[in-house]
Amino acid sequence: MATQIRKFEQDAIVDVILEKVIKSKNNKANGAITGCKEYRDLLSTANEVKSFDKQIEILKEQRDELSKKVSRGVELYNYAKDFELKYDRWSAVLSTQTGITEWKLKEKIANKIAISLLPKDAIQNIDAIIESIAKEFE
């Protein structure tokens, strides 16, 4: 009379058989590819990719260090100067910042035009007053 096995025993046997089959297939595949020229070429190329990845990582670290150095330099420069430098880390662009935005500049130009269009007899000394005030803010 045949003895019945329980489900967990059956699963354990299946796992052992599966492990042996996978190991055997992997060994056959490895044996087949070790003598294959195409595999060796692909392996060599894959190793080159790994080498490039390591070099890229080293370059990224160097870039980040240099970027931090520029950022610190910009902070020190901006602390001591009248106008500021701006450093965009992502595009690696260093530029100046005057503090004048486009709308402020547009407003100043509009005011200057308004003053210049005033009749000369309406205001006296406007040029001297403007020069005096401008010198205060230089």
94, 85 Cβ separation under 8 angstroms: yes
93, 87 Cβ separation under 8 angstroms: yes
- Rounded to two decimals, the pTM is 0.47
Residues 46-85 pLDDT 10s? 999 999 999 999 999 999 999 999 988 888 887 777 677 8
- CA–CA gap between residue 89 and residue 94 (Å, rounded): 9
pLDDT at 99: 65
Rg over CA atoms, the chain: 38
| β-pair partners for 94 | 87
